[in-house]
């Protein structure tokens, strides 16, 4: 049989780009910036969002889309603080796709928002491959993960417009070499800004938020 | 056009099962046990293997297959300790497939080995979906990742024949609730043994190694 077409995988990626394009249009029309937060499981993405909320109690111009394989734990944590939040459950998938993000995005109160933060599924590999129409991918790396993750998972760190180094309050208890880590980041992305933060003390969170709102 | 078959994805998984089956045959013939170590980036998989090596300096009956997206860092760390080790680079892929493992396995000095430990790519999602012919998947979870990962990434913890809770020496510096974590593990896998270890002090590593060699 001639002219058989096998197109499953390519189509999926093509479809994703179409949805990402729709997201870009909506964000442009509503003048909303969208950030795609990507990091390992337990690297402190949700804790950072909690700290952003409690440090700026009056600030209610941002919403969160929580990506998880299962559970609504993270959305519940932010909902308890009064942040508009939706939970996106991938039911097994290792990353968020643009179609899912699109449907959650159009349900948000966009006219009252300046910023949407997407917390992707905890994973340093797959989410970096998917365009979800964001203005910036932000790589989140915890000091407990060791220095060399930027070179071991280079795609994310190459794609990122900023790197957030979390849990710096734990450095005294670790053998973590911060300079080595910063060098590894530089190795894959020479000019990317790095924000060193502690969501426990709040150190560094102001500068990060300032940078995000300047996008 | 009728009877068109779209079979890309299914075929890929089918192929994987065939290679996994070949691995099972080789392991059976050579009486070697194979463990598939799965956990987040930086959860302490390599450090555990280093500690296993230094705690049992005479033990030279195990080899390691190191799975990584990029770099040979982990293989170098183990090679420095005299462990037979091969590096499997996935060049972007988020998990090890059986075919890759097979080719590395047959190059190992199997007649002199009792155990092969595969350190999978740092990722709590995708590696759990792939059968690589192992005797047991072992889930590795660091206390720095928080309590709820077993219910947020349930497939791995359901598939695991043991859970290793790493970095327990850091608990005094964290707000980690160990009982809550153990309950979450029980929720997805009621009978799985949990080994609490510190690769810094060596605490708990003996019991884990004993369990592995009893498989």
Q: How distant is the Cα of A120 from the closest Cα of chain B, in angstroms?
A: 13
Q: How distant is the Cα of A143 from the closest Cα of chain B, in angstroms?
A: 9
**CB-CB neighbors (< 8 A) of A38 in chain B:** none
ipTM metric? 0.91
Q: Any CB–CB contact under 8 A between B71 and chain A?
A: yes
Residue among A69, A145, A154 whose CB faces B125 most closely: A69
pLDDT tens digits, residue range A5-54? Answer: 444 444 556 799 999 999 999 999 999 999 999 999 999 999 999 999 99
Identify the pLDDT of residue A12: 57
**B8 pLDDT more than 60:** no
Listed range (A78-92, A149-163, A165-179, B160-174) with the worst mean pLDDT: A78-92
Name every residue whose Cβ is closer than 8 Å to that of residue A164 and which is 6 or more positions away in sequence. A39, A48, A138, A139, A140, A141, A194, A195, A197, A208
Q: How distant is the Cα of B177 from the closest Cα of chain A, in angstroms?
A: 14
Q: What is the mean pLDDT of chain A?
A: 93
pLDDT tens digits, residue range B133-142? Answer: 999 999 999 9
Q: Which domains are seen in chain A, by residue range?
A: 8-213 (3.40.50.300)
- Residue in B with minimal Cα distance to A188: B70
Q: Any CB–CB contact under 8 A between A170 and chain B?
A: yes
Residue among B71, B73, B153 whose CB faces A69 most closely: B153
Q: Any CB–CB contact under 8 A between A91 and chain B?
A: no
């Amino acid at each position: 049989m001639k002219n058989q077409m096998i197109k499953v995988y390519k189509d999926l990626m093509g479809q994703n780009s179409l949805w990402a394009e729709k997201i870009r249009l909506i964000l442009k029309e509503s003048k909303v910036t969208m950030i795609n937060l990507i990091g390992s499981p337990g690297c402190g993405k949700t804790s950072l969002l909690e700290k952003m909320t409690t440090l700026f109690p009056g600030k209610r111009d941002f919403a969160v889309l929580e990506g998880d394989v299962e559970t609504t734990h993270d959305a519940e944590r932010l909902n308890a603080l009064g942040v508009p939040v939706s939970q996106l459950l991938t039911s097994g998938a290792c990353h968020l796709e643009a179609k899912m993000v699109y449907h959650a995005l159009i349900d948000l109160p966009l006219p009252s928002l300046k910023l949407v933060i997407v917390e992707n599924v905890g994973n340093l590999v797959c989410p970096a491959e998917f365009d979800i129409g964001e203005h910036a991918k932000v790589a989140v790396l915890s000091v407990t993960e060791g220095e060399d993750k930027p070179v071991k998972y280079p795609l994310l760190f190459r794609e990122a417009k900023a790197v957030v180094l979390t849990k710096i309050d734990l450095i005294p208890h670790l053998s973590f070499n911060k300079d080595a880590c910063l060098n590894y980041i530089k190795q894959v992305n020479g000019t990317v800004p790095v924000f060193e933060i502690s969501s426990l003390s709040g150190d560094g969170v102001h500068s990060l938020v300032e940078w995000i709102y300047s996008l």
